[in-house]
Chain A
Amino acid sequence: MSRNVSFALTVGICMLLPFMVPQYSLTVLIEALIFGLFAMSLDLLVGYCRLYSFGHAAAYGLGAYSAALILTRLLLPLPIGIVLAVLVTTLVAIPIAWICTRSTGVSFAMLTLAFAQLGYAMLFRFRDITGGSDGIVGIPRPPGPLGMTWFQGKTGYYYLVLGCLIGSYLLCRAIVRSPFGAVLAGIRENEAKTIALGYNTRAYKIATVVLAHGFGALAGALYAAFAGFASPELFFWLVSGRVLIMVVVGGAGTLIGPILGGVFFVFLEHELSEITDLWPLIFGSVFMTFVMFAPQGIWGILTRRSNPGAELPGAGNETSDAAA
């Protein structure tokens, strides 16, 4: 019960934020929420299947570029453009997922990295479509359907992003609590046993990789339409690395942890990079400390302390794992 109350309270505060913060902070806020969504999508792989993707930027970049192309070339209404971008990325992700799930562990990490880098390289190959190193600029936010224009302003766009984030979170939470999610937890804890129980774990993994790409693409598409441009950097492996840091520090396998990790990472990056140019050093060190001493992440620590029998499948198991 208290969980639902605090959830409603958080959503309420987020709804009011545009009236409480100045306009320029709203920009950072929107980017933070988008990155939170992106980090949550990676958590489906890292936290629930223990598949460490080092190429999740591919989902972000694909989503951003498909949205950019759809919106600039076809001038479809923004919501439809974003939905189409997610669909396109999901389709592209199916063969990628099929190949990457042939292997696990380190090879999976490297394969995903290679696919992201391949995408990065392709941007320069098909320059006339993607704009090469310039990227695609001047992405519009076309109105409609039914004459909707509320998302064209910054405050409206904030609500669009917030709605997408909350909707995706509720969807992901339903997924990981469903029987499907239970099989994922089985894969994470003991894949051999799950296979012995008669589950085709490869199919589950493929489905999860595709799902993670879908949610990642939503984040990418939202970013492209907000920033008004898509550049090759979105595909670069540093993006994959950053989002992985957010997931681990926030708390893999908790969904909320990575969202918070993403949001705070963007804020701290914004604040600290103005004060000191050493912030990547600080983040790198903080990240290493978490990997060494607190693999359950911030949210894992918080939930374990407040309610010992945490019912989220991730939190408890991650900690028992670290102790082993």
Chain B
Amino acid sequence: MSLGFILAQCLGALSQAAVLFFIACGLTLIFGIMRIINFAHGAIFMLGAYVGFTIVAVTGSFLLSLLLAPIVVGGLGMAFERVFLRHLYGRRDGGAYLLLTFGLAVVLSEVIRVIWGAQPRASGIPDFLRGIVVIVEQPFPLYRLFLIAAGLAAALAVWQFLERTRAGLLIRAVSQNAEMVHALGTDVALVRTAVFGLGCAMAALGGVLAAPLVTAFLGMGTTVVIDAFVIVIIGGMGSFLGSLIGSVLVGFVQVLGAYYFQDLALAFMYFLMLIVLVIRPGGLLGRED
């Protein structure tokens, strides 16, 4: 096994991790603020991929779809929070969120099927990202390198946003003690709507980025949402850094598992999660509650 081969494997795993991070990060942000696990997050990721596909088909610009699809999907997410989720906040039974977003996942994937049809859609890798890079005598697709860069950039941007901006400060404050932030005169409801929208926009961005590799197909949402859950549970629900670590772990387990143990690839991810949960029920960086 050459050095180049090992390197290529690792880069492949990292590019997988980058796509997963876009979904897991939004999921964990939303959970941190609202204590909601958004079951529809995979469907929203899928919606992002399809909307991106349509934007590319109409305008011919991949970069434009990277910009517009998250805005459209994020807006839809905010509308959903305002119209539906908001009415459940008073309910003592947290399971209602789980059920409602599960319903949304079912409805959304059906809506996608009605609008875009059941055939898988391939948007293709944009011309300027096509090509192969040779890393230590091992060919590696340029687009996957681009994914790693995009994932890193997104992680940095979200981290800086949370740590350095006033909006980020508010988000962290709400996740720690919403009543106190409310008492200090901040519109907590607005923060919740914004975070839900942001989480959805991140997932949509992930969808647009992943679409050229996997071709958008129905059911892409369901597989991906379970991966994202596993990541968020491994990392600790509500922890941003946890979602980053979880994405990388799961990315490696998926890519290496698929290469070396085809049959066990699926099971490995769940084993990893069960081991983490038995040792630390709250996840690696999660609060125990």
Residues of A within 8 A of B (CB): 46, 50, 52, 54, 99, 102-103, 105-107, 109-111, 113-115, 117-118, 120-122, 124-125, 127, 237-238, 241, 244-245, 248, 278, 280-281, 283-285, 287-288, 291-292, 295, 321-322, 324
A322 contacts B91, CB within 8 Å? yes
B98-A278 in contact (CB<8A) = no
A319 to B93, CA, bound (A): 12
Q: Which of B71-108 contact A (CB under 8 A)?
A: 84, 87-88, 90-96, 98-100, 102-104, 106-107
B67 within 8 A of A: no
Instruction: Determine if A124 and B266 form an interchain contact, defined as CB atoms under 8 angstroms apart.
Output: yes
Which of A114, A120, A122, A324 interacts with B92 by CB under 8 Å? A324
Return the chain B residue nearest A241 by Cβ.
B102
Main secondary structure of the interface of B (DSSP, over half): helix
Establish whether residues A118 and B267, one from each chain, have CB atoms under 8 Å apart when the complex forms: yes
| B263 interface residue per 8 A CB criterion | yes
B258 CB, nearest partner CB in chain A, Å? 12
What's the Cα separation between A145 and B144 when bound, in Å? 62
> Which of A52, A103, A117 is within 8 Å of B95, CB to CB?
A52
Contact B267 A281 (CB under 8 A): no
Measured CA separation A295–B99 after assembly (Å): 10
23 pairs, A vs B, C-beta closer than 8 Å: A46-B95, A54-B102, A105-B94, A106-B94, A107-B281, A109-B95, A111-B277, A114-B230, A118-B267, A121-B266, A125-B263, A125-B267, A237-B226, A244-B102, A245-B103, A281-B107, A284-B110, A285-B103, A287-B106, A288-B104, A292-B100, A295-B93, A321-B91
Contacts of B229 in A (CB 8 A): 110, 113-114
CB-CB under 8 A from B92, the residues of chain A are: 321, 324
Docked complex Cα distance between A117 and B110 (Å): 22
- Using A99-B274, A107-B233, A125-B263 as known contacts, say yes or no to A50 and B226 having CB atoms under 8 A apart: no
CB of B114 within 8 A of chain A? yes
B175 contacts the other chain (Cβ, under 8 Å)?
Answer: no
What separation, in Å, do the CA atoms of A106 and B277 have in the docked complex? 13
Taking a contact as CB atoms under 8 Å apart, the answer to whether B226 and A281 are in contact is no
B270 within 8 A of A: yes
Tell me the bound Cα distance from A278 to B113 in angstroms. Answer: 9
Rounded to whole angstroms, the CA-CA distance of A237 and B93 in the bound complex is: 23
CB distance from A182 to the nearest CB of B (A): 20
* B278, CB-defined interface residue at 8 Å: yes
Interface presence of B264 (CB below 8 A): yes
Which residues on the B side are within 8 Å of A127 (C-beta)? 263
Q: Are A99 and B278 in contact (CB under 8 A)?
A: yes
B residues contacting A by CB (< 8 A) are 31, 37, 84, 87-88, 90-96, 98-100, 102-104, 106-107, 110-111, 114, 222, 226, 229-230, 233, 237, 263-264, 266-267, 270-271, 273-274, 277-278, 281
Instruction: Report Cα–Cα, A324/B91, bound state, in Å.
Output: 6
User: Closest residue of chain A to B229, judged by CB?
Assistant: A110
Asked if residues B266 and A117 are in contact (CB atoms below 8 Å), the reply is: yes
Residue from B104, B110, B267 in contact with A280 in the complex, judged by beta carbons closer than 8 Å: B110
A237-B103 contact given A106-B98, A110-B37, CB 8 Å threshold: no
Chain A contacts for B102, CB-based, 8 A: 54, 241, 244, 287
User: Does B267 contact A122, Cβ atoms closer than 8 Å?
Assistant: yes
Q: Lowest 8 A-B CB distances belong to which pairs?
A: A284-B106, A121-B266, A288-B103, A284-B107, A281-B110, A121-B267, A118-B270, A287-B103
Tell me which residues across on chain A come within 8 A of B98, comparing CB atoms: 52, 54, 106, 109
Question: Whole-angstrom distance from the CB of A36 to the nearest CB of chain B?
Answer: 20
Q: Given A50, A114, A288, A292, which contacts B107 in the complex, CB threshold below 8 Å?
A: A288
**Residues of chain A lying within 8 A (CB to CB) of residue B106:** 241, 280-281, 283-284, 287
Which residue on A lies nearest to B233, using beta carbons?
A110
Closest Cβ of chain B to A34, distance in Å, is: 22
CB distance from A94 to the nearest CB of B (A): 15
Contacts of A292 in B (CB 8 A): 84, 87-88, 100
A198 and B188 alpha carbons, distance in the complex (Å): 39
- A124 cross-chain contacts in B, Cβ below 8 A: 263, 266
Q: How far is the CB of A72 from chain B (nearest CB, A)?
A: 22
Q: Do residues B111 and A281 form an inter-chain contact, with CB atoms below 8 A?
A: yes
With A99-B277, A280-B106, A324-B92: A114-B99 Cβ-Cβ less than 8 Å: no
Contacts of B270 in A (CB 8 A): 114-115, 117-118, 121
Chain A residues lying within 8 Å of B277, measured Cβ to Cβ, are: 99, 102-103, 107, 111
> How far is A248 from B106 in the complex, measured between Cα atoms in Å?
15
Across the interface, do B93 and A291 meet the contact criterion of CB distance under 8 Å? no
B94 contact set on A, CB distance < 8 A: 105-106
- With both chains docked as a complex, state the minimum distance between the C-beta of A194 and any C-beta of chain B, in angstroms: 16
